[in-house]
A and B are shown apart, each in its own frame.
Chain A
C-alpha cells in the first residue's frame, strides 16, 4: 500500500482564521485526516517533521525578511505548495499598509521604538515563490478547501472560478445591492464563495481578488446608472487588493 502523503500547515502573517476554518470542518475533519499523514500544524499539534512535505499548505502574507526566508525554506522542502486565504493569495488586509510610507506606519504603532520591530511591504506568496494551488477568501470557504486538497492529492489541477461573484449572487436570488443604493465589489471579484457576504446582507469586499478580465466598462456603467462615484469602488478595492502589483496574475 502506498504511504499516505505527508501534509503540513504553516502560517505567516495573518489572523490564523483560515486554519480555524479547517479545524471547523468538525467531524468531517477526521475524514480528511484519514487520507493524509499530518506532520506539522503548529496551532494544534506539538509534533514537527524534518523530512520532505508532499503538500505544504501556507496561510498569511510575507511582511518581513524572516517570513520570506521561512517561505523559501518551506517551498524548498515541498513538492506542492497551496496558498490559502487572502493574505497568502493576494496580500489581504495586511496589504493596506503598502499604500502608505512604511516608516509612517511603523511610527504610528511603535513610536520612537519603531526600529525594534522591522517590517517590509506586504507580499502574497506567488510574488516570491511558485504556488501550485490557490484557495482564495477571507476566510477560506471550507468546501473549496476540501476540493483543492482532493485535487492536490490526486495530482489534478484545480481551476479557480474566473467569473464574477455576481454570477453566484444571481443564482442565490439576492436583490442586487446597487438597486439598494449600495456599492458592491461583486461585479469585478472572482467567484467561488457562493456570494457568502451578500447572502448575509453585507456587500462584497473583494477578498478573493479581481477576476482576470474584469468588465470595467460594465462596472462603470452600473456606477453611472446609480449615480455613484467610482472613487468609492477604488477605495474599497484597496482593502484586500492593495498588495497586488499590476502585473500579477
Chain B
C-alpha cells in the first residue's frame, strides 16, 4: 500500500506530564514512530546532593503527585539501606498497607478517568456523566475512600507526611484502624461492579511479545515492597544490580532516558507483574482475572488496564488483611518516630550506599543513594517506571502502525493515543534521571 500518514499529537492528554506522539508513514513505509517526552526536566538527582538522608523522602515524593507514596517508600528503603537501619515488622506491615493504597488509588484513577473514556468512546471522564453517572460517582467515591485511608495513615495521599526514615511519625489508634477498615470494605463492594464493567468492555486486539520485568521472590507473597529483580526472559538480579537491568540510554527526542535488557526493550507495570507473579495473587484477584478473561502470559499491552483492575482487587484484599491483623494484635504506639533532620541523632548514621526497589503503580521504581558519615547525600539516582517503558511503547507503535494503516487518520491517532495511555505513563516522573551511561544506538 502506498499511503502517506502523518500523526502529530501535541501534548497527549489524559496522561501525567507532557508528551507528543509523532508517526510518519511515507509511501506505505513507516519512517518514524516516536513518543516525544517534552516535559521540562527538574533535575531531582542534582537537587538531592547536599541534602540530609532524612529529608530525601520529603523531596523525592515531589517527583510525582500521583505516586508520591511509592516514591517515598522507595526513597526510604534506599536511605535506610544506605545507613544500615532495619525497620520493625510493624513498620513493614504499615508500609505494605500504604503501598497497597497507592496502587489501588492510582489504578482507579487510570481505569476510570484516563482509560475508560477511550473504551466508552468519549473524550473525557466528564463525558461519561450522561450515560454512566453511576460509574463516575463510584470512581470518585473509591478515589475519595483511598484518599481518606491515606489521610488517616500518613496525613494525605499527595506527598505523605508521616512515613519517614525509621518508621512512622504517627501511628493509627484502634478507632482509626476501624475507620480505615470500613473504608476498605466499601472499596471492596465498589470493585464488584468495576470488574463487571471492565469485563464487558472491548479492548483493542493487538499482541507483541516483549520482555517483562518486575520484582520476583521465592516467598508466597505477590512481591511489591521487596524481592529481586526478575524478567520473563529468565534474568534474575539483586536490586543493587539494577543498573545491569535498566541499561539506560539517551535519545534526543526525550528528556527521559530509555532502557533495555535482553532485547531492544522491556515492559514494567501491572501487566509485567501479572505475567511474572499471577500465581501469587490473592484468590479474589485471580477470580477477578478469570471474570474479565485475563490470563498469564498476556502479550496485549492494552490489557495493562485489565491487569491494574486485578491488582486493585489484590491490594484491597491484602490491605483489609493487614488492618484486621492490627485490630487483632494492636499497634505499638511506642514505635512512633520523632523527626527533624535527625538533629537529635535518634537513628545512627553511617556512610554507605543503598538501593530501594519498589513496585509502584506504573512498574518497578529504583532509588539509589550514596551518603557520607553525616548522612548527607553525595550521589543520587532514580530510575522511574515510565522511562523503562518508553522504548517498549515505541516498539509497540512500530508493530501497531502497519497493522492499522488502512484506517482513517483519526482512528490511527486514537489507537496510538490509547496504546500510550494503556501504559499509564507518568511523564513528569520520568524526566529526572541521573548518571548517564551512554549506550550506542
Residues of A within 8 A of B (CB): 12-21, 23-24, 26-27, 29-30, 33, 38, 42-47, 63-64, 66-67, 92-94, 96-97, 100, 104-106, 108-113, 116-117, 119, 138-139, 177, 180-184, 196-197, 199-203, 205, 228, 232, 236, 239
Are B68 and A15 in contact (CB-based, < 8 A)? yes
Residues of B within 8 A of A (CB): 11, 13-17, 38-43, 45-47, 49, 51, 55, 58-59, 62-66, 68, 109, 113-114, 117, 123-127, 136-137, 140-141, 143-144, 147, 154-159, 161-162, 164, 168-170, 250, 252, 255, 336-341, 343-344, 428-429, 432-434, 436, 438
Are B40 and A116 in contact (CB-based, < 8 A)? no
In the complex, what's the smallest C-beta–C-beta distance from A153 to chain B, in angstroms?
19
Question: Which residues of chain B come closer than 8 Å to A108, judged between CB atoms?
Answer: 43, 45-46, 49, 434
Are B161 and A201 in contact (CB-based, < 8 A)? yes
Give the CA-CA distance A24 to B113 in the complex, in Å. Answer: 12
Are A45 and B125 in contact (CB-based, < 8 A)? yes
Are B343 and A47 in contact (CB-based, < 8 A)? no
Contact among A18, A109, A182 with B43 in the assembled complex (CB-CB below 8 Å): A109
Most buried by A among B47, B58, B63: B47
Instruction: Decide yes or no: A63 and B42 within 8 Å by CB, A15-B63, A108-B434, A181-B343 being known contacts.
Output: yes
Contact among B58, B65, B141 with A15 in the assembled complex (CB-CB below 8 Å): B65
> Looking across the interface, which residue of chain A has its beta carbon closest to that of B58?
A205
Contact among B13, B66, B123, B336 with A201 in the assembled complex (CB-CB below 8 Å): B336
Are B40 and A67 in contact (CB-based, < 8 A)? yes
Most buried by B among A16, A104, A239: A16
Known: A17-B64, A109-B45. 17 other contacts (CB 8 A): A15-B68, A15-B429, A16-B16, A16-B65, A19-B65, A23-B109, A30-B140, A42-B13, A47-B123, A66-B40, A93-B59, A110-B436, A138-B159, A182-B343, A201-B170, A228-B343, A232-B341
Are B14 and A109 in contact (CB-based, < 8 A)? no
Question: Which residues of chain B come closer than 8 Å to A96, judged between CB atoms?
Answer: 47, 59
Are A201 and B343 in contact (CB-based, < 8 A)? no
Contact among B124, B252, B428 with A47 in the assembled complex (CB-CB below 8 Å): B124
Are A109 and B155 in contact (CB-based, < 8 A)? no
Give the CA-CA distance A34 to B162 in the complex, in Å. Answer: 35
